[in-house]
Structure 1
Amino acid sequence: MKTAIVMILVAVGSVVFHLLSPWWWTPIASNWRFIDDTIIITFWITGGVFCAVVLFMAYCVLRFRHKPGRQAAYQPESKRLEWWLSVGTGVGVAAMLAPGLVVWHQFITVPDGATEIEVLGQQWQWGYRLPGKDGRLGTSDIRYVSADNPLGLNPNDPHGQDDLVIVGDDLHLQIGKPVKVLLRSTDVVHNFYVPEFRAKMDFVPGSVTYFWFTPIRTGTFEVLCAELCGVGHAQMRGKVIVEDEGDYHDWLQQQKTFAELSGRSKTARTANQLGSE
């Protein structure tokens, strides 16, 4: 009897805790409400199965508990029960997978007109690259990575000369503008994650991964690395600032291009060499 009561309390308490819990998602700031909907569907299906199983176990404990003179009946199989279990399990799994497949199709289908930006993950900081006036990102390669070229841009690619390079600073985005985020890593697996955007993706060394989203709310949001990437993992943080079009373009005007940063580095090296002589 006590065991059955504990089981019932566990089932009821789990539902009450879920409904009244103070821990929930941060307010969404992107177009990926569908991801929230998919997770909620999974919550209700798995929660319903959990409660059904626990309550059924409590019923069995009460209904078939030991009594003097009662003998257990042995029933090796029940085709009817197996069919019900198979069909019910199949429907439940399909109900969880189908919404995810629909959302995944949307997740990898980048809309026309999306702005491409690049995020470079490395132990333990973020680097960003935005297209310049030509609206196109230049090529890059890890072989070009150096102290003067931390993102590894190809110095011989004319399309990369006007790219805006941001290292050790915040990333700014325009509200309402779709963004395709290209992800590169120079060392280990990282993951670019802004909880309010819901969307995230792993950085895989040696390849370029991507995801897209549309910011729908202005504000400052924290960037986290969602993959354990070494001893400095907890400090690998940054900020994304979503602002209106005017403020965003004002910020763009203040950023330096790859050509400007490269020219400054060459000038500094030349001055150092002349000073040493």
Structure 2
Amino acid sequence: MVIAVVILLLVISSLLFHFLSPWWFTPIASNWTAIDQTINITFWVTGTVFVAVNLFLAYVVYRYRYNKNRKAEYDPENRKLEGWLTVLTSIGIIAMLTPGLFVWADFVDVPADASEVEVVGQQWHWSFRLPGDDGQLGRTAIALINQNNPFGIDPDDPHGQDDVLINSNVLHLPIERPIKVLLRSKDVLHNFTVPQFRVKMDLVPGTQTYLWFTPTLLGRYEILCLELCGIAHYTMRGHVVVESEDDYQIWLNQQPTFKQSLARISRDITAGQQSYTACIACHGVNGEGNKVIGAPVLAGQESDYLNRQLHYFRNNIRGGSDDDIYGRQMLPFAAMLADDAAVANISLYLHSLPAVTVTQSTERRGNVSVGRNIYKNCAVCHGQSAQGHYAQKAPKLAGQYTGYLKRQLKNYQQGIRGKHPQDMYGPQMILMSKLLQDDHAIDDVLAYIATLQPVQ
């Protein structure tokens, strides 16, 4: 009797939780209402079976409960019951699968007038590529990927010269225009999804997959990776901004093409050298930094990383916290760089400087052997020799003052750095820094990094 009551209560509480729960689908923002309908049909079919089976179970438990004056009858075969179960089960499966087959047929049938957007996944960030005026994306190849060509576009393909490159985790799309999303991975298996669009698809290394949708609601929506792709998987997030056609065109016209990005690389390094004169007092004539005042080494650092950090300082994404004393000192100096060209020039100039050998603290605080094991997690992004990795957006660590590195790790751990919503890679570093559970672990990993030689 008690078991029958418990089963009955389980059914009632499950139904109440389903219908009264505040956790439900996000409001749909695309044309894929059919996917919601298919899921709802699945809920109704499985829910009906759940209720029927458990109510029948509760009835059987109650009706045929133990009675010492009654003898059980053994009936191993019941063709009539098995026949009904087979028919009803088949109807349920057909009811669940049939709508999905029709939806899938639409899902793989992309409208002829759909605009193409390429989404590139990589541990652990998103980037995007759009066709230029010719309406075609250029050829790509993994072998062509380098610091100056992170998308691996074939420079000999004329269709690739006007490709629009979005080396950021924010993609803008026009409302009410069909979009075909081409999916490509540089490294491991990822999965692209925007919950409000009700679409998701794996990014498979070595091949190209796709999906399509039509945005129907203005707004900003989060891109997620729903495939466990590594230690910083949860930070692999981006955003889709759905806006009017006019606003979309304004944004699109501000984005660089592949040809323009190549030209930008060859900007006047001499101009960057002239801009750097204002930085010499702290960072040294040769970008060697200053351990006494906490100024980091800049010589030979990745230009892309320097460019990003200077933009962060100029826009208060970094250095805005009152607790970031050194970061706040950088704000007025970064503001002296008049525009993006000035930032790019000084970044390229610093990258062109030869790597320097710095004098670390003579006090040995950490255990190198322990630090070597800890650093294995860091090497995924920063490289086995801490040489940095342009594709991972990870700066060079070898040859940097350990005091500066420790300060940055503490800033990440305390939320002083990396918490600004526009800091694309800050959340990843906050996660990684917290793997270092105490100052001993920090000192150990920095002791190991100090043994590595900088590479130009």
Shift of 1:139: 1.0
Aligned pairs for 1:41-190 (under 5 A) are 41-190=41-190
Shift of 1:191: 0.7
TM-score by length of 1: 0.96
Q: Distance in 2 between matches of 1:37 and 1:239?
A: 26
Shift of 1:67: 1.3
Q: List per-residue Cα deviations over 1:5-40 (Å, max 9, x = no partner).
A: 010110111111100000001100000000000000
Residue 243 (structure 1) aligned with residue 249 (structure 2): no
Structure 2 equivalent of residue 229 of structure 1: 229
Q: Distance in 2 between matches of 1:268 and 1:159?
A: 27
Shift of 1:266: 3.5
Residue 21 (structure 1) aligned with residue 38 (structure 2): no
Q: Distance in 2 between matches of 1:21 and 1:254?
A: 44
Contact 2:125 2:169 in 1 (8 A): no
TM-score by length of 2: 0.59
Letter of the 2:66 counterpart: H
Q: Distance in 1 between matches of 2:115 and 2:69?
A: 77
Contact 2:169 2:237 in 1 (8 A): no
Q: Distance in 1 between matches of 2:216 and 2:107?
A: 16
Shift of 1:257: 0.2
Report the structure, 1 or 2, having the larger strand content. Answer: 1
Identify which range, 248-257 or 258-267, moves more after superposition: 258-267
Secondary structure of the corresponding residue to residue 231 of structure 1: coil
Q: Distance in 1 between matches of 2:35 and 2:43?
A: 12
The 1:276/1:8 distance shift into structure 2, 3 A limit, reads closer
Structure 2 equivalent of residue 258 of structure 1: 258
Secondary structure of the corresponding residue to residue 40 of structure 1: helix
Structure 2 equivalent of residue 214 of structure 1: 214
Q: List per-residue Cα deviations over 1:238-259 (Å, max 9, x = no partner).
A: 1100000100000011000000
Which consecutive residues of structure 2, in runs of 5 or more, have no partner in the other structure?
A: 271-347, 355-456
Which structure is larger by alpha-carbon Rg, 1 or 2? 2
Q: Distance in 1 between matches of 2:268 and 2:93?
A: 62
Q: Distance in 2 between matches of 1:125 and 1:18?
A: 35
Note the aligned Cα RMSD (angstroms). 1.6
Q: List per-residue Cα deviations over 1:66-97 (Å, max 9, x = no partner).
A: 11210001112011111101111111111100
Shift of 1:276: 6.4
Q: Distance in 2 between matches of 1:136 and 1:16?
A: 52
Structure 1 equivalent of residue 32 of structure 2: 32
Percent same amino acid at aligned positions?
A: 55
Q: Distance in 2 between matches of 1:227 and 1:21?
A: 27
Letter of the 1:166 counterpart: I
Q: List per-residue Cα deviations over 1:144-164 (Å, max 9, x = no partner).
A: 111111111111100010000
Deviating beyond 3 angstroms after TM superposition, the runs of 4 or more aligned structure 1 residues are 266-273
Identify which range, 216-225 or 260-269, moves more after superposition: 260-269
Shift of 1:262: 1.0
Identify which range, 164-173 or 21-30, moves more after superposition: 164-173
Q: Distance in 1 between matches of 2:13 and 2:198?
A: 28
Shift of 1:269: 7.8
Q: Distance in 1 between matches of 2:235 and 2:68?
A: 64
Larger relative contact order (CA 8 Å, sep ≥ 6): 1
Letter of the 2:260 counterpart: E
In the alignment of these two chains, the number of paired residues is: 276
Q: Distance in 2 between matches of 1:137 and 1:110?
A: 17
Letter of the 2:235 counterpart: Q
Shift of 1:237: 0.7
Shift of 1:265: 1.6
Q: Distance in 1 between matches of 2:70 and 2:269?
A: 93
Shift of 1:169: 4.2
Q: Distance in 2 between matches of 1:60 and 1:178?
A: 54
Q: Distance in 2 between matches of 1:19 and 1:44?
A: 12
Letter of the 1:27 counterpart: P
Letter of the 2:206 counterpart: G
Q: Distance in 2 between matches of 1:237 and 1:217?
A: 20
Which consecutive residues of structure 1, in runs of 5 or more, have no partner in the other structure?
A: none
Secondary structure of the corresponding residue to residue 266 of structure 2: helix
